[in-house]
Amino acid sequence: MNAHARNTDPETSHEAAASVANLTEVKRNILLILEGSSEPMMDWEIVRKYYEYTTVHNWAWAMEQSIRSRRADLVRDGKIEFANDWGQSVTGRRSRKWRLTPRVSKMLH
């Protein structure tokens, strides 16, 4: 999804287009994180890895809640699924683990 604004559009339109492009980039980056993981990951692990890669690979900055929301979007899009496995969150609560769907995994490998 590419969002564009015309040269004649107001500044707010350009800001909105950039923010949509960032959402797409965050989704792509989440897929890359899960692709590179040998095990399913909990949200907090995805967020931690995202922040690590933001520094190492110069990824676009995203807030923790935005990363979680984009992960939820990818579940709705059928690209990520619950791995039928649980882990423990940083607060000690049970937390779902996520993985690429088989279809997406095949496309990436």
- CATH number of the domain to which 33 belongs: 1.10.10.10
Please give the pLDDT value at position 98: 98
| 53 lies in some domain | yes
| 93 lies in some domain | yes
Strand residues in 15-88 grouped as ranges (E): 41-42, 80-88
The rounded distance, in Å, linking the Cα atoms of 90 and 20 is 30
| 80 lies in some domain | yes
| 48 lies in some domain | yes
| 44 lies in some domain | yes
The rounded distance, in Å, linking the Cα atoms of 40 and 37 is 7
| 100 lies in some domain | yes
Is residue 45 within 8 A of residue 30, CB to CB? The reply is no
The rounded distance, in Å, linking the Cα atoms of 109 and 89 is 29
| 2 lies in some domain | no
Please give the pLDDT value at position 107: 78
| 3 lies in some domain | no
Number of domains, the chain: 1
Domain residues for the domain of 26 are: 11-108
Question: For each of the chain's 109 residues, which pLDDT tens digit applies?
Answer: 444 455 675 665 444 444 334 458 899 999 999 999 999 999 999 999 999 999 999 998 999 999 999 999 999 999 999 999 999 998 999 999 999 999 888 777 6
Please give the pLDDT value at position 19: 39
